[in-house]
Structure 1
Amino acid sequence: MKILFIHQNFPGQYKHLAPLLAARGHDCVALTLRVKEPGNWKGVRLVPYALPNRTGQNVHPWIVDLDTKVTRGEACYRAACKMRDDGFTPDLILAHPGWGESMFLRDVWPEARMGLYCELYHLSDYPHLHFDPEFEMPSDTAPLRIRLKNLNNHIHFPLADAGISPTRFQADTFPQPFRDKITVSHDGIDTRTARPDPEVRLSIEGQVDVTREDEVITFINRNLEPYRGYHRFMRALPELLKRRPEAKVLIVGGDDVSYGARPAKGTTWKQIFIDEVRGQISDADWARVHYLGRIPYDQFLRLLQVSRVHVYLTYPFVLSWSLMEAMACEAAIVASDTAPVREVLSDGETGRLVDFFDTGALVETVCELLDDPEQRARLGRAARALMVEQYELNDICLPRQLEWVEALMRMPTNQG
Structure 2
Amino acid sequence: MAQDPLCLLCVEPRFPGRLGAVADWLVRTRGYRCWFYCNGVGPRDHWPPSTGRGLEVVRFEVGGVARERSVPWTRSLERGLCYAYGAWEVLEARRPGPIDVVLGRSHGLGSTLFVPAFAPRAPIVNLFDYYYLPRSYDLADDLAHRLPPDYVRWRQSANAMDLLDLENGVLPWTTSEWQRGLFPPEYRDDFFVQHDGVDLRRFRGEPRRAGSRSRAIAGRSVPEGALVVSFIAPEPDRLRGFDRFLSLSNRLIRERADVICVVLGGGPVRRGLDVEHFGADFGTLALRDDPPADPARLWMLGAVSPETVAELLRTTDLHVYPSRPFVPSRSLFEAMAAGAPVLAWDAEPVREVLDDGRTGRITPADDPERAALLALDLLADADTRQAIGEGAAAVSRERFDRDRCLSRLAGLLDDLAKRSYSPAIGGR
Fold conserved between structures, TM > 0.5:
yes
Q: CA deviation at 1:83?
A: 3.0
How far, CA to CA, are the matches of 1:121 and 1:386 in structure 2? 27
Q: CA deviation at 1:89?
A: 4.8
Say how many residue pairs are matched. 400
Q: Which runs of 5+ in 2 are unaligned?
A: 43-49, 208-212, 422-428
- 1:109 maps to which residue? 119
Is residue 398 of structure 1 aligned with residue 370 of structure 2?
no
| 1:181-206 CA-partner distances (Å, limit 9, x unpaired) | 2111111112222124245622434x
How far, CA to CA, are the matches of 1:412 and 1:88 in structure 2? 16
Alignment CA distance shift 1:361-1:14 (3 Å): same
Matches within 5 A, 1:77-92: 77-84=88-95, 88-92=97-101
- Of 199, 202, 223, 2:216 maps to 202
- Of 13, 20, 30, 2:18 maps to 13
Q: Secondary structure at the match of 1:217?
A: strand
Q: CA deviation at 1:357?
A: 2.9
Q: Is the 8 A contact 2:11 2:104 kept in 1?
A: yes
Matches within 5 A, 1:3-402: 3-23=8-28, 24-34=30-40, 41-52=52-63, 61-84=72-95, 88-98=97-107, 99-127=109-137, 130-133=140-143, 137-139=146-148, 142-198=151-207, 199=213, 201-205=215-219, 208-210=220-222, 213-259=225-271, 260-261=273-274, 263=276, 267-278=280-291, 282=293, 285-394=294-403, 396-402=404-410
Q: CA deviation at 1:74?
A: 1.5
Instruction: Normalising by structure 2, report the TM-score.
Output: 0.85
2:281 maps to a residue whose letter is T
2:101 maps to a residue whose letter is L
Q: Is the 8 A contact 2:269 2:280 kept in 1?
A: no
Query: 98-107 or 47-56: which moved more?
Result: 47-56
Query: 258-267 or 304-313: which moved more?
Result: 258-267
Q: Is the 8 A contact 2:166 2:172 kept in 1?
A: no
Q: CA deviation at 1:312?
A: 0.5
Alignment CA distance shift 1:212-1:17 (3 Å): farther
Q: Is the 8 A contact 2:138 2:239 kept in 1?
A: no
How far, CA to CA, are the matches of 2:165 and 2:235 in structure 1? 29
Q: CA deviation at 1:412?
A: 5.0
Q: CA deviation at 1:359?
A: 1.5
Q: CA deviation at 1:340?
A: 1.1
Alignment CA distance shift 1:212-1:375 (3 Å): farther
Q: Is the 8 A contact 1:232 1:356 kept in 2?
A: no
Q: Secondary structure at the match of 1:275?
A: helix
Q: CA deviation at 1:339?
A: 1.1
Q: Is the 8 A contact 2:343 2:360 kept in 1?
A: yes
Alignment CA distance shift 1:25-1:384 (3 Å): closer
How far, CA to CA, are the matches of 2:53 and 2:288 in structure 1? 45
Alignment CA distance shift 1:287-1:350 (3 Å): same
Alignment CA distance shift 1:305-1:121 (3 Å): same
How far, CA to CA, are the matches of 1:55 and 1:261 in structure 2? 20
Q: CA deviation at 1:173?
A: 1.5
Cα RMSD between the aligned structures? 2.8
Q: Which runs of 5+ in 1 are unaligned?
A: none
Q: Is the 8 A contact 2:24 2:51 kept in 1?
A: no
Alignment CA distance shift 1:267-1:410 (3 Å): closer
Q: CA deviation at 1:65?
A: 2.1
Query: 65-74 or 345-354: which moved more?
Result: 65-74
How far, CA to CA, are the matches of 1:49 and 1:374 in structure 2? 52
How far, CA to CA, are the matches of 2:26 and 2:397 in structure 1? 23
| 1:71-113 CA-partner distances (Å, limit 9, x unpaired) | 21121121122234xx735232111122222222222222221
Q: CA deviation at 1:151?
A: 0.5
Q: Secondary structure at the match of 2:334?
A: helix
Q: Is the 8 A contact 1:123 1:129 kept in 2?
A: no
